[in-house]
Amino acid sequence: MAQLRVPITSLDHIMGDRTAIVTIVEYGDYECPHCAAAQPILAQILAHFGSQVCLVYRHFPLVEVHPHAAAAAEAAEFAGAQGLFWQMHQAIFAHQQQLNVPLLISLAANLKLSPIDLRDALASDRFEAKVQGDFIGGVRSGVNGTPTFFVNGMRHDSPYGVATLSSAIDQAILGAAARSDDRQGER
């Protein structure tokens, strides 16, 4: 089973309690219909497990088949630099069918972000290194399509439905509890 090769850092976008027992890392592409379909599933998972789970999103734009995915990722990073990553993330997926640069600029304006600054950031590739860093980390971790999920560092190779992700999370919680019990017994 493939493992996550790049540790989670302060540069990652994390939704939920950073000290959660379980961390889900998603490698996604804003133009991928499967990634869009996974978003309500992830919302359900986060609502169900509460503070036991946090979600990390990393960019994996498949630019050969999704021509606007890299620009969308950079727009999300632009919003993230101003504390609005998750709002832009959700807005992009909500408008995935119309994805293009003018839409990204409109979404930024809707979030009260400067459309001119976003246009400049996209033109100068200001956030390209972050997006590429995520992509390279994904490749190093064995990601070859989107969405790809890791649950506590282990690749989730089953379908990404609520039942299969919940099962993987339950197993991770049980594993964490067992490790905690082992440490208690060593004292």
Given a contact cutoff of 8 angstroms between Cβ atoms, the answer to whether 28 and 76 are in contact is: no
Rounded-to-10 torsion of CA 103, 107, 113, 117: -20
- For residue 143 the two structure tokens come to 């990601």
pLDDT tens-digit profile of 72-83? Answer: 999 999 999 999
In this predicted structure, what is the pLDDT of residue 183?
A: 61
Q: Is the pTM of the predicted complex or chain greater than 0.75?
A: yes
Judge whether residue 126 has pLDDT over 70: yes
Of 178 and 78, the one with more pLDDT: 78
| Cα–Cα distance for residue pair 181/183, rounded to 1 Å | 5
pLDDT at 36 over 70: yes
Task: Specify the pLDDT at position 159.
Answer: 87
Please state the separation of Cα 110 from the chain's center in Å. 22
DSSP 151: E
- Architecture of domain 13-186 in CATH? 3-Layer(aba) Sandwich (3.40)
Give the DSSP letter string of 8-70: --TTSEEES-TT-SEEEEEEE-TT-HHHHHHHHHHHHHHHHHGGGEEEEEEE---TTT-TTHH
For residue 147, what is the DSSP state? S
